[in-house]
Amino acid sequence: MSARYSELTSLLRRAATLRSVGELLAWDQETMMPAKAARFRAEELAAIAELAHQRMTEPRIGELLAECEADLALVVDPVVAANLRDVRRDYERVRKLPPDLVAEMTRTSSLALEAWKAARAADDFSAFRPWLERQIALARRKAEAYGPPPGGEPYDALLEDYEPGMTAAQLEALFGPLRDRLRPLIAELAAGDGRPTALETLVVPQERQRELNRFVLSRLGFDLDAGRLDVSTHPFSSGIAPGDTRITTRYRDDGFLDSLGSTLHEAGHALYEQGLPKDDGLGLPLAEPASLGIHESQSRLWENQVGRSRAFWTWALSEARRILGAALDPFDLDDFDRAVNRVRPSLIRVESDEVTYNLHVLLRFDLERALVRGDLAPADLPGAWNDRLHADLGLRVPDDRRGCLQDIHWSMGAFGYFPTYTLGNLYAAQLWGAAREMLPDLEPSIARGDFSLLLGWLRREVHAHGRRFPAGELCRRISGRPLDHAPLIGYLKAKHARP
Ligand code: ZN
C-alpha cells in the first residue's frame, strides 16, 4: 500500500479515536454520571467535538486524498476506491459547515434539549415553541451550507447526514403506498379490547429479567467480553471503539417482555457494530455503518423478525421458564405469540407495536418536511399533529406531552432522522425475505436456539461491507430488488393472518 494512503488512514484513525472518546463520555452521561456533572460534561463533549472537527478538516487530508485519487495503482483496488470515494464525500461535506454554525448548533441543541424536557414535563408547547423555531432556522442554514442535490429540496441535504443518497421525493414514493396499505391492515388487526394480556404485565424480579437478557444476548452471538449491557431510561447502543460495544435496556417489575424486546433491539445494533471491520479499519468508511436505515434494519430484524416469531419462542419459552421461575407456569407458546404480536393503536411511538409503528414515523416525516419547507408554522404543529394521528390511528391526543412533545429529536435539531426508523423496518423485511430464501434451515435453527446461521449470513452480506455500497445498492445486491413496501406488508400480513 502506498505511503500516502497509509498516512491518510492514520490521520483518519486519529480523528476517529477522538470521536470514540466523545462516545465514551456520552455513554457515561446516559448511564453513570452524577446529575451535577451535566454542565461540565457539556464542556468536555464540546472540547472533544471541536478537536475531532479540526482533525477531520485538516488540509493535509485534502492533499493526501487528491494524491491518492490520482494514483492509478491504488484506485484499481475496489476496496481502496470505495474508501477514497467516501472519504472525499465526508471531507467535502464537513468543510461546508462554517465553524460558527457548528458551534451555534451545538450550543442551541444543549439548551433546547433542557427546554424541551421542562416543556414536556409541564405539557407546555408554548414554552418549547421558540426553541423549535430556532432549531428550524438553524436546520435551514445547515441545509443551505450543504446545498441540496440538483433538483432537490433543503430537506434532502439534512437527510444526507443520516441516510446518504436518499431524498424526500424518494421517501414520499416509498411511504405513500406503505401508509395506504397499513391503514386498512391496522383497522383489521386492531380488533378486541386492546388491553394488555396477563403475560405482558406479569411481575418478575428485575434481577431475573437481567439474567434472561444476558443469557439471550450471549446466545445471539453478542460478545460480552467486547461489550456491556447496562441500564438507562431510553435504551440505546454505542459502538464506542474496537472491542467496546455497549448497549442499555430498561426494567420494570411488570415489563419483562418490554425489557427483553429492548435488549433484542439494541443487540441488533450492537451485533452490527461488532461485525464491522474496525480493528484494522477504524476511521475508514468501510469500517462504518452503511446508513442509519441499515443500522435500524439490524435492530428491527432481531427485535421483530426474530424476537416476535414463533420459532424464537419455541426455543426461548423453556429458557425463560428456567430463568424466570414458576411465574411463567400458566402460560404456553400461544400466550407468548399473542402477547408479543398484539396490535393496538397508541399515542406514543416508542411503545407502539410493529404494525402501527410506521404510521407514527410517517406522520413525523411529513410534518418535519413541512416545517423545514415553511409550509407548516411551528405554532400550528400541535393541531397538525393531532389531526394526523386521528386520521391515521383513530385516537384523540389528550395533551401535547403525549403528542408533538413526546420525542427528543427536534429539540436536538435532528431533522431528517425519523425516516430512518421506517427505512429500517423496510430494509429488515427485505433482508429477512432474502435470508429465508437463501437459508432453508433459518427458522428451524432459530427454534433450536442456534442463531449462528442468521448472524453468519448478516456478517457476510451486511456487516463486513461497512459503507462499501450505498444503502439502496446494498439492499438490491442482497435481495435482488430495490427497496419497496411489499416485503414489509407481506411479512406483516403473513404473520398476523389468523386461521
Ligand atoms: Zn434502533
Q: Express each pLDDT in 442-497 by its tens digit.
A: 999 999 999 999 999 999 999 999 999 999 999 999 999 999 999 999 999 999 87
Domain membership of residue 155 (yes or no) is no
| 38 band by pLDDT with thresholds 50, 70 and 90 | confident
Say whether both 187 and 97 belong to one domain. no
Say whether both 138 and 203 belong to one domain. no
Domain membership of residue 297 (yes or no) is yes
pLDDT at 41 (0 to 100)? 86
Say whether both 218 and 126 belong to one domain. no
Going from the Cα of 300 to the center of ligand 1, the distance in angstroms, rounded, reads 7
Q: Which of 264, 261, 186 is CA-nearest to residue 492?
A: 186
Going from the Cα of 68 to the center of ligand 1, the distance in angstroms, rounded, reads 36
> How many C-alpha atoms does 467 have within 13 Å on its Cβ side?
26
Write out the residues surrounding ion ligand 1, Cβ under 5 A. 296, 299
Going from the Cα of 170 to the center of ligand 1, the distance in angstroms, rounded, reads 22
Say whether both 181 and 92 belong to one domain. no
Average pLDDT over residues 44-59: 90
Tell me the C-alpha distance between 406 and 123, whole Å. 10
The proportion of the chain whose per-residue pLDDT surpasses 70, expressed as a percent, equals 99
Say whether both 106 and 219 belong to one domain. no
pLDDT at 110 (0 to 100)? 80
Domain membership of residue 163 (yes or no) is no
Going from the Cα of 297 to the center of ligand 1, the distance in angstroms, rounded, reads 8
Going from the Cα of 298 to the center of ligand 1, the distance in angstroms, rounded, reads 8
Domain membership of residue 185 (yes or no) is yes
Say whether both 181 and 96 belong to one domain. no
Residues 6+ apart with CB under 8 A from 155: 143, 148, 168, 368, 369, 372, 373, 415, 416
* Residue 499 predicted with pLDDT over 60: no
Say whether both 38 and 105 belong to one domain. yes
For residue 322, the domain's CATH number is 1.10.1370.30
| 192 band by pLDDT with thresholds 50, 70 and 90 | low
Domain membership of residue 159 (yes or no) is no
Going from the Cα of 265 to the center of ligand 1, the distance in angstroms, rounded, reads 6
Tell me the C-alpha distance between 36 and 32, whole Å. 12
Say whether both 186 and 288 belong to one domain. yes
**Known catalytic membership, residue 266:** yes
The proportion of the chain whose per-residue pLDDT surpasses 90, expressed as a percent, equals 86
Across the beta sheet with 237-241, what order do the strands follow? Answer: 227-231, 244-249, 237-241
Going from the Cα of 443 to the center of ligand 1, the distance in angstroms, rounded, reads 23
Q: Express each pLDDT in 67-78 by its tens digit.
A: 999 999 999 999
| 193 band by pLDDT with thresholds 50, 70 and 90 | low
Of 95, 113, 147, which one is at a domain's C-terminal end? 147
Going from the Cα of 270 to the center of ligand 1, the distance in angstroms, rounded, reads 10
Of 116, 147, 178, which one is at a domain's C-terminal end? 147
Going from the Cα of 299 to the center of ligand 1, the distance in angstroms, rounded, reads 6
Q: Which of 160, 266, 273, 296 is catalytic?
A: 266
Domain membership of residue 162 (yes or no) is no
Say whether both 131 and 185 belong to one domain. no
Residue with cell string 439471550: 216
**For strand 237-241 and strand 244-249, is the pairing parallel, antiparallel, or unpaired?**
antiparallel
| Domain count for the chain | 2
Say whether both 376 and 468 belong to one domain. yes
Going from the Cα of 292 to the center of ligand 1, the distance in angstroms, rounded, reads 9
| 109 band by pLDDT with thresholds 50, 70 and 90 | confident
Say whether both 177 and 69 belong to one domain. no
The residue range of the domain holding 108 is 3-147
